[in-house]
Amino acid sequence: MNLIDLHTHSNASDGSLAPGELVAYAVQKGAAAIALTDHDTVAGLPEALRAAEACHFELVPGLEISADYTGGGMHILGYFINHADLFFQRELERLQEARRERNPKIIVRLQELGIPITYDQVLALSGGQIGRPHIAQAMLQIGAVQTLDEAFTHYLTKGAPAYVEKFRFPPGRAIDLIRQAGGIPVLAHPFTLNCTTIEQLTGLLRELQAQGLQGLECLYSEHTPDQNREYLALAEKLDLLVTGGSDFHGLNKEGVEILTGCGALRIPYERLQSLKDLKARH
């Protein structure tokens, strides 16, 4: 089977591999194609596309935008975006600004909690854009935690003592921006919405679909087989495209491998073909 991975991160956001290294790694692992979907930035795409072209590998230009949603985490993936679009880049700059505002506040909170990491230390671990995984790595480095997961659960996750909010686009705005840049918006890892019933999730997806959402990431590392089945049925019912990905972050997310996720993930090339067919009809 030709396997693909439509959700990966490079060090342009919070993955540990440079975009070119990520492409080389995907090739080495035998991927038929991958999408690079860094958080809130397209900065890694030129390097990834160049690396892919040099070895005749199929790289889908993408990104993942965190949207404003109180019930949990809402991430919107955008595939086949025109990353050179200047308006799109300018809008993404607002998200960079939001990080520059938030990150020092998290570090101050940690210092107040007796964890002496510094902004420079965190910056050195990043490829420019700082995310919470870099802060977690810095905490690991000084021995304040034993695992990245511990850093998140005890300090960095929503509700934990060093969590600080940042500006996010409303979901409809994130969807619009992706479509204006020629991309296909897809809701990532639906379980992080924390819907308690399938009816609630269906309602939410219908709202997003009315705002332009075109796909659902039904296949994901951390989904159980039951969740995969449930989301596939829902995508079929709502006529949403099905995508899937591992959310590979290299060393910055423990236990998640490219292509296979936590072990059981398998995404056939046909899922990418449907995306490409939709893009071609635009």
- For strands 58-67 and 33-36, give the pairing: parallel
Q: How many helices (H) and strands (E) does the chain have?
A: 10, 7
260: left (phi over 0), alpha (psi -120 to 50) or beta: alpha
Q: Which of 264, 250, 253, 213 is nearest to 234 (CA)?
A: 213
Q: Which of 23, 108, 8 is nearest to 62 (CA)?
A: 8
Partner touching 148 among ligand AMP, Zn ion, Fe ion, none, CB below 5 to 8 Å by kind: ligand AMP
- Closest CB to ligand AMP among residues 131, 185: 131
**String marking each residue 86-115 x if it binds Fe ion according to CB under 5 A:** ------------------------------
Residue of 3, 5, 38, 39 interacting with ligand AMP (CB under 6 A): 39
Residue of 6, 8, 14, 221 interacting with ligand AMP (CB under 6 A): 14
Minimal distance in Å, beta carbon 129 to ligand AMP? 9
Measured from each CB, the residue nearest to Fe ion is 75
Partner touching 152 among Fe ion, Zn ion, ligand AMP, none, CB below 5 to 8 Å by kind: ligand AMP
Contact positions with Zn ion (CB under 5 A) in 6-35: 14
> Is residue 40 involved in binding Zn ion (CB under 5 A)?
no
Whether 39 and 276 have beta carbons less than 8 Å apart is answered as: no
Edge-first strand listing for the sheet containing 4-8:
4-8, 33-36, 58-67, 74-79, 184-187, 215-220, 241-245
Contact positions with ligand AMP (CB under 6 A) in 122-161: 131-133, 148-149, 152, 157
* Size of site (CB under 6 A) for ligand AMP: 11
Minimal distance in Å, beta carbon 54 to Zn ion? 26
64/185 Cα distance (integer angstroms):
9
Whether 125 and 251 have beta carbons less than 8 Å apart is answered as: no
Name the amino acid, one letter, at 132.
R
Residue of 75, 134, 179, 253 interacting with Fe ion (CB under 5 A): 75
List interacting residues with Fe ion (CB under 5 A): 64, 75, 188, 247
Residues found near Zn ion in the complex (CB under 5 A): 14
